[in-house]
Amino acid sequence: MIHVTELAKDKIRALMEAEQRPGLALRIAILGRGPGGFRYDLGFVEAEDQARDDTVVDTGAFKIFVDAASMENLKGATLDYVEGVYESGFKIDNPNPLWKDPVAQKVQEVLDTKINPAVASHGGFVALLDVQDGTAYIQLGGGCQGCGMVDVTLKQGIEVVLKEEVPEIREVVDQTDHAGGKNPYYQPSKGGSSPFA
Amino acid sequence: MTETPAPRRVLLVTSTQTYKVGAFLEAARQLGVELIVAAERAPALAWASPHSQLVLPWWDAEAVAQRVLEFARVRPIQAVVATDDESAAAAARAAAVLGLPHHGEAAVGAARDKLRLRETLGAARRPVPWFSAFPVDRDPRAVAREVPFPCVLKPRFLSASRGVIRADDPETFLAAWSRLRRLLERPQVAAAGGDLAHSILVESYLPGGEFALEGLVTRGRLRALALFDKPEPLVGPYFEETLYVTPSRAPRKLRAALWREAQRCVEALGLSHGPIHAELRATPRGVVLLEIAPRSIGGLCSRTLRFERGSVSLEALLLRHALGEDVSRVRRERRAAGVLMVPIPRAGVLREIRGAQEAREVPGIEEVRFTLPLGQHVEPPPEGARYLGFVFARAARPETVEAALRRAWERLEIVVEPARAGSAGQSGLS
């Protein structure tokens, strides 16, 4: 189940009213994982956009649709709205671990403690997208996109460190779309407009 | 007991701005060559492979020599390859101190400075346009009285048509001078050019079709690897490169004349060993070499070139040549190939690229690749120096390649949000 705080409900209700389209629902999806944890997508959809495998959460004020894959990692999460000097907007407090697979957990730890601090000093970041059969699928972001030296960082940096620190990893595959700043590996599975962006 | 053969090690001298390193890394992997990437700054995670990377401040020849010698004492280097104009002088220096075959420092210096290039070629009785360099702080109205029209204003050291502007009369000359001066005063441009940024080269404009010749020099002898047509007219006022198609459809006699002139200019400059990329014009008075760079074709354009029925990349060929292998029998594949360097429509923030999938679906198109991320500040020539991306095509005939590239181009829509007033010239690309 996903919980929604009263403040978040009020904000969402106000945004829905501004849309002037009765019967809207909120769709929450996990797009992937980034340096700060899960990456979420929130958007309004029509009621008929509900898919067969969606989990539907009725908050009393509106309905939330969550696809099956995202729901796996959203159980017990709370959708809140925060307003402060340094941070304001919707926030999801998610108790689920970023990865359940132990190899992926190890890779994530190496990214968090060794790789990303170094890459961040060059304005970039590395996100783990998945680990399958000894292959780590990663995405490079920030200053890495369009950088001429990204192949050196990948081949002589990330790949070397990951293989050394996590012997189960035999290959590292860059899934970044360096072309357009988009990630082709994970695509949002459902459509919808987002006033939250 | 068998001994492990010593690894073949190549020093790749590069700037961090080039897109070529990935292709060289892949070529080295295929050839079993250890590639030492030497750039002006350490890449992120340099500590992970300290023996595969070297920081070379290519603007400081003595520091380059010292660091290369120190490195090679521990890990001997068998060959040196440069990727781009900025790093070519450092590569020549590194090869010189290591005693390895490479274009010499003087030749690389002459090729890089467009004024010295003209002087050297003129002294060797090669055809050159009328040319003269003027201090950038001189009164352009006085300069305009000394130059022929139409003429072309150029920075002495920038590449990719950056800063090159045609002027047809004193009025357009003043505007071009002012624009070029502002470019040369940008801090990063001024720093990259050093003394060369203090003057502007003015040449008479040469009409005629333009060609690019990709070649490999061995002991001073030029071998043409590919001759590219540039089917999009380059008549100014700016000279943005767009279409390259090979093999050339020029008559055999002209192709021979283009190669012959490139060979003579290679000799005149003393370029001795390694790749060259030359730009030539077929003017009504004969072939004239506009520029020659002691490195391979720029950007990702080398993807158009495959050798030995497509199994060997240009980078693999260059590594093998640098390591002393005889590659004189290696031939380019028979298929025609070409590239569209996707132009930037105007200065501003790159917001969206539409039609990429539609462009990919054009028959003959092999790849559509954008190299600048969304959200980046972009600017076209004459100020800009980078392309938005590259579209590659292959087909049996060059005209089919050109048609495919043009159709793909038509399908692309580049959305650039205009730069706000006052933000021009603040590009991160400068």
**If you write DSSP's letter for every residue of A134-181 in order, what string do you get?**
TEEEEEEEETTTT-TTHHHHIIIIIHHHHHHH-TT--EEEE--BTTTT
Q: In this structure, are residues A34 and A125 in contact, taking their beta carbons and an 8 Å threshold?
A: yes
Of B14, B49, B372, the CB nearest to A156: B49
Check B370 against A124: CB less than 8 A apart. Answer: no
Q: Which of A39-48, B3-12, B409-418 has the lowest mean pLDDT?
A: B3-12
For residues B139-159, give the mean pLDDT. 96
Write the burial class of residue A15 (CB in 10 Å: 0-12 exposed, 13-18 middle, 19+ buried).
middle
Q: Which of A172-186, B64-78, B199-213 has the lowest mean pLDDT?
A: A172-186
What is the Cα–Cα distance from B55 to A149, expressed in whole angstroms? 13
Q: In the predicted model, is pLDDT for residue A195 greater than 60? A: no
Check B371 against A178: CB less than 8 A apart. Answer: yes
For residues B93-98, give the mean pLDDT. 97
Q: In this structure, are residues A144 and B371 in contact, taking their beta carbons and an 8 Å threshold?
A: no
Of B14, B52, B375, the CB nearest to A156: B52
- For chain B, positions 186-225, list CB contacts with chain A under 8 A: none
**Which of A121, A156, A171 to probe the B interface (max B CBs under 10 A)?**
A156
Give me the pLDDT at residue B372, please: 81
Of B369, B356, B368, B365, the closest CA to residue B405 belongs to B365
- What's the gap in Å between the CA of B264 and the closest CA on chain A? 34
Provide the 3-class DSSP secondary structure of residue B160: coil
Give the tokens for residue A132.
């399958």
Query: ipTM above 0.90?
Result: no
What is the Cα–Cα distance from B129 to B286, expressed in whole angstroms? 12
B356 touches chain A (CB under 8 A): yes
- What's the gap in Å between the CA of A149 and the closest CA on chain B? 6
Residue whose entry in the numeric block shows the structure tokens 């959200």: B375
CA distances to A193, B21, B411 from A181, in Å? 20, 20, 20
- What's the gap in Å between the CA of A85 and the closest CA on chain B? 26
Q: In the predicted model, is pLDDT for residue B345 greater than 50? A: yes
Average pLDDT value for chain A: 83
Determine the residue of chain A that is closest to B428 in CA distance: A143
For residues B239-261, give the mean pLDDT. 97
- pLDDT band of residue A121 (cuts 50, 70, 90) is confident
Give me the pLDDT at residue B424, please: 39
What is the Cα–Cα distance from B41 to A18, expressed in whole angstroms? 51
Contacts of B25 in chain A (CB under 8 A): 151-152, 155-156
Give the tokens for residue B312.
């060997």
Of A136, A138, A131, the closest CA to residue A183 belongs to A138
Q: In the predicted model, is pLDDT for residue A182 greater than 60? A: no
H or E stretch including B302? Answer: none
DSSP H helices in B224-313? 252-269
CB pairs under 8 A between A and B: 84
| Alpha carbons within 13 A on the beta-carbon side of B335 | 19
A23: CB partners within 8 A, 6+ apart: A46, A47
**Which of B16, B45, B302, B353 to probe the A interface (max A CBs under 10 A)?**
B45
What is the Cα–Cα distance from B82 to B296, expressed in whole angstroms? 8
- For chain B, positions 23-62, list CB contacts with chain A under 8 A: 25, 37, 39, 43-49, 52-53
For residues B339-346, give the mean pLDDT. 95
Give me the pLDDT at residue B4, please: 64
Backbone phi and psi for residue B100, each to the nearest 5 degrees, phi listed first: -105, 150
Q: In sequence order, what are the beta bridge partners of B9?
A: B34
- pLDDT band of residue B426 (cuts 50, 70, 90) is very low
Check A146 against B15: CB less than 8 A apart. Answer: no
Give me the pLDDT at residue A146, please: 66
Check B370 against A119: CB less than 8 A apart. Answer: no
Contacts of A178 in chain B (CB under 8 A): 369-371, 373
Give me the pLDDT at residue B422, please: 45
For residues A24-37, give the mean pLDDT. 84
> What is the edge-to-edge ordering of all strands in the sheet holding A135-142?
A124-132, A135-142, A171-174
Of A157, A178, A180, the CB nearest to B48: A157
Give the tokens for residue B31.
């050839």
Q: In this structure, are residues B143 and B110 in contact, taking their beta carbons and an 8 Å threshold?
A: no
